[in-house]
Amino acid sequence: MGLIEKIKEIEDEMARTQKNKATEYHMGQLKAKLAKYRTQLLEPPKSGPKGEGFEVQKFGNARVCMIGFPSVGKSTILSTLTKTQSLVAAYEFTTLTCIPGVIDYKDAKIQLLDLPGIIEGASEGRGRGRQVIAVAKACDLVLMVLEADKAEDQRRKLTLELDKMGIRLNRKKPDVTITPNKSGMVRITSTIKLTKVDEKLIKNIMQEYKIHNVDILIREDITVDDLIDIIEGNRKYVKCLYVFNKIDKISIEEVDEIARRKDHCVISCNLKLNLDFLLECMWDKLDLVRVYTKKRGNQPDFSDPIVLSNDRNGLMVRSVCAQIHRELVDEFKFAIVWGRSCKFNPQKVGLNHVLADEDVLQIYKSKTKAQLAKQNKQLKGTKHDRKKEEKGDKSSKK
């Protein structure tokens, strides 16, 4: 029996099983088995000819890909927002490979990828879905392009395919830490009350994965699926913006209702409607920060900013230093910042200062051992020269 047949068998058993307190342990073990089989399904073949890939070299400050069913307008969006021309036609599967383009927006360069349309069953190998979804895992943002009149059905199917491939849209990684121990047992520590899983269920799932000696620290109320995601360790948590194209097919009331939802953007490529707002939404979701550098005694360089994505705790001066040069963090002495992140302008800050968009940064380095040695050598040389001059003056007087 192949992997796809095993996956189908477990899915059928899960559909037949009633969900209640008595069956939750059995359902947890089924979910663990299903996750293991899907992980094996995603592994590349060890032998045989390699197919044509979609790998495109990363360029710019961020990478965005468009995912959707065939003929929803992905190629038209690429051609409209970038200078790249992607083949556009009124039939399905016009785009057969990954086509990159670059968006110049707010002094940043955003790489936009037009991917072929995917179909149902993509996670099981139908069409070129696995390659398309693999590219999505390497992106900072996914644009899920949907036809406005078929959006809910398309979004449900696409989210399911992405979920099967280990991509979690607009979700954060569960706050769970699993570390090996030498005690030969599973020890569970929770900082909050768990309402969706209990200790027995967690141990059953760990047993299914043949993990018997770990410490599990749980800091949030997780589900069985969250625990399996942490154990698998190959899940990708990606930001997603839902783009509703062809809004001329639905009523103005429906357009207004969709536009008010979080992470939703309504556009019409044919009518050139709301494309500027789409760029604004992309910028907000990417959460990029522009930092302008300044040399001592000169004006700030506003032509070429350092553009980085915000970390969980905000973009710190440390990250900017590391981006400029890997040794700059070790040589860092202090920095002076002008901008919205300061209580007063300018402000002297350290490595852990959190920067805001469009801040100006001036970095001061401490002298390294080599520089100090060189300086001492120069000073000694200067003293030696002075002594020579003094001796010369005395001899001339005599």
- Model pTM greater than 0.85? no
Closest CA to 136 of 113, 157, 155, 164: 113
Residue 89 pLDDT > 50? no
The CATH number assigned to the domain with range 289-369 reads: 3.10.20.30
| pLDDT tier for residue 240 given thresholds of 50, 70 and 90 | very high
Architecture of the 62-171+235-284 domain:
3-Layer(aba) Sandwich (3.40)
Whether the ω angle into residue 174 lies within 30 degrees of 0, i.e. cis, is no
| pLDDT tier for residue 252 given thresholds of 50, 70 and 90 | very high
Residue 389 pLDDT > 70? no
Closest CA to 157 of 187, 120, 131, 123: 120
Span(s) in the chain for CATH 3.40.50.300: 62-171+235-284
Token duo for residue 322: 């590391």
Which range has the worst mean pLDDT, 100-104, 113-117, 203-207? 113-117
Residue 216 corresponds to which amino acid?
A: I
Listing DSSP states for 189-233 in one string gives EESS--SS--HHHHHHHHHHTT--SEEEEE-S---HHHHHHHHH-
Span(s) in the chain for CATH 3.10.20.30: 289-369
Interval 360-370: pLDDT, tens? 999 998 866 55
Bridge partners of 285, per DSSP, are none
d(CA 312, CA 306): 19
Closest CA to 328 of 368, 282, 374, 276: 368
Q: Can you tell me the mean pLDDT for 131-147?
A: 85
d(CA 5, CA 11): 10
d(CA 259, CA 272): 16
